[in-house]
A and B are shown apart, each in its own frame.
Chain A
């Protein structure tokens, strides 16, 4: 291992950039995604051409056409519409224990789940890539050129395979990732908390379906994530469901149909929103008429909020910190708009939480600021963000036990090695199975990868020394290597997590994406040619009806009409070059007619006649 290097630190930076780098931050959310850019130290959301800030994380796939993304997908009729696919990132079919409004299927090799669409099976990585592509395009249009790099945010609890999947989708989308940044860190950066000299922060992020709490310490420009916790199945949607169930109980009805339940959830959400400003709201469901008060709402949702506070307590305990040590509390996620959440968080930490930045935008804004720093636009000015891994990494040992090699909340990057040995005489192969999780039994942890170390020379049991090295980089991505060290025979292997897609899958997706780029271009040029042909035909039709009888003989007239007919037929088809040739053909035939019209127009003008016709021609 290199202890000290002779190279000057940061020497790579000598190649300084002249042009300001185009770097943006992207919040790839479960419900909505958005992109932001930093200009002169201030981050702002990049809107689309209609001024919309949020892009619904929804993609519509239909056979024979390019996917629709965002609001277009939400409004799409036909095809298959995919939403909330972030939950499927890096997950196998066996991991999905909840209902999704589309058909899922196994990839066949135990890899990531696939979504069945009318345009064929689609991986969640592809869905994320299509969203990323749309946001990158939005940014490129706004910034006037290709992006140099992006910072993509991921939840702090995202495990290995989920991070790998996010990386893969960026590759498919053709965007250069500067860093995967954890969402809470981005939120803290957005509030400029990294500019403080010192502090201990809590980032409380309550979204629609997930809760995430992170504890960070800041000291002279180094920003350290001390611990993270949360619950990936707890959020504002639970509030809505609790209210919906309450309505069912009060109205003594059972709502079974999906469409009705969706309507009921909308009613629940609307009531929840109304209670942020009113003490009580009338609630109507079918023939039932009732009223929901704020205190009733609190009874319904307090259990969920308390569960988030327990998670906060655990995180504080993990880091050996008490609530009164906290200097700032940052609220992130739409559900923190609920006043009860705000109040309970304030009481728990004993201080007013920060919420002046839109909780839906704060993560993207912070990512944009960090992208600006990483791209080298603001070197030396930005704080250093040190991250931790959210879950322990280890390998399976005898008896199905999890041997942790890197404990959770370890600061990354990190390289750690541990030695293992053979348990049979003459054993030449050792199977290594990599897991992530906190439980003692591997059956309760997530399997990341499995590989064999072969070619171990024959030795008695326990004599071989297999060194397994785990390397986690600054993005939290893992590489595992194994080698036998006793015999000097070095065989090592690098594993890619099984849920993180095989290399050829990614390559395939990139190829398809490039192909479709070519197709898109061809489609555009066809459209342009068609429009051009129609414009010609239209102009000639007008001219013929005005002067066709006077300026052309019957034969000339017929040959022109034939050429027009040919082009009109071709323009209805999709053969671009044929349309181009026939347009040219028609031009040749009509040139004479056009010249005669010009002459006639000039003559008429000189004679002081038919002024309107002259104006028409010129």
Chain B
């Protein structure tokens, strides 16, 4: 199935970094025009069309506003050869580091005292700066259309995202 181009649907340039205020404005303007509430007295066909179109807009917006999901969508659109060559392998050093972070997180989770909370905060910041670094890599790779390395970076971002979610979960 062809992938629907969410960037096109919301009228924003196909890129990693995007202007959030432009994205928001375009989404709202299109919603205001297409929302089923604007078609309450219209025919069934028009109602269905409004429903379909706003559904697409909602899907597009929720995808593009999250950096990771935006990155995944970007690769889906651009990296059309993805299925034809084997998936690149993450370097062992990165995997090992992830494993260590995860173990540390588990220990902190079982302690839940003030010291553990402070350590959790340190870890959160460390993971965040790693994320930023890999995000910049990914941005650069997509800009020069280096899809193979971009896929590697995306995998790293996915790992880090998962870790961030778990840290957040523990903090609650």
Task: Answer yes or no: are A and B bound together in one complex.
Answer: yes
Proximity bits, A408-419, B CB within 8 Å = 1, else 0 = 001111111000
**Contact among B36, B61, B62 for A473, CB-based, below 8 A:** B36
Interfacial residues of chain B within 1-46, with CB under 8 A of chain A in the complex: 4, 8-9, 24, 28, 31-43, 46
Known contacts A15-B41, A219-B24, A222-B31; A3 and B36 CB within 8 A of each other: no
A9 to B46, alpha carbons, bound, how many Å? 9
The yes or no answer to B58 lying at the interface (CB within 8 A) is: yes
Interface majority SS on A: helix, strand, loop or mixed? mixed
Interface residue ranges of A341-388 to B (CB < 8 Å): 373-376, 384-386
CB within 8 A of B31: which of A11, A13, A386?
A386
Which residue of chain A has the shortest Cβ distance to B5 in the bound complex? A3
**Does residue B161 face the partner (Cβ distance < 8 Å to A)?**
no
Q: How many residues of A contact B (CB 8 A)?
A: 38
| Inter-subunit contact A416/B59 (CB<8 Å) | yes
A2–B35 Cα distance when bound, in Å, is 15
List of B residues within 8 angstroms of A416 by Cβ: 59
Which B residues are CB-close (under 8 A) to A384?
Answer: 31-32, 35, 37-38
With a cutoff of 8 Å between Cβ atoms, the chain A residues found around residue B172 in the complex are 314, 317
Residues of A within 8 Å of B51, CB to CB, are: 413, 415, 471, 473-474
From A385, A386, A412, name the one whose CB has the most chain B CB atoms within 10 angstroms: A386
Cβ of A1 within 8 Å of any chain B Cβ, yes or no, is yes
A15 to B42, CA, bound (A): 9
Please state if B56 and A9 are interface contacts (CB–CB under 8 Å): no
Q: Is A539 an interface residue (CB 8 A)?
A: no
Q: Which residues from A are CB-within-8-Å of B28?
A: 219-222
A178 to B39, CA, bound (A): 10
Q: Which of A149, A384, A413, A473 has the most CB of B within 10 A?
A: A413
Question: Smallest distance from the beta carbon of B73 to chain A beta carbons, Å?
Answer: 14
Contact of B35 among A219, A414, A474 (CB under 8 A): A474
The answer on a CB contact under 8 Å between B42 and A12 is yes
A256, CB-defined interface residue at 8 Å: no
A220 partner residues in chain B, CB cutoff 8 A:
28
Q: Is A404 an interface residue (CB 8 A)?
A: no
CB-nearest residue of chain A to B47: A12
Indicate if the CB atoms of A12 and B59 lie closer than 8 Å: no
Name 5 A/B residue pairs within 8 A (Cβ), A-sorted. A9-B38, A11-B42, A219-B28, A222-B31, A414-B55
Interface positions of A (Cβ within 8 A of B)? 1-3, 5, 7, 9-13, 15, 17, 149, 178-179, 219-222, 314, 317, 373-376, 384-386, 410-416, 471, 473-474
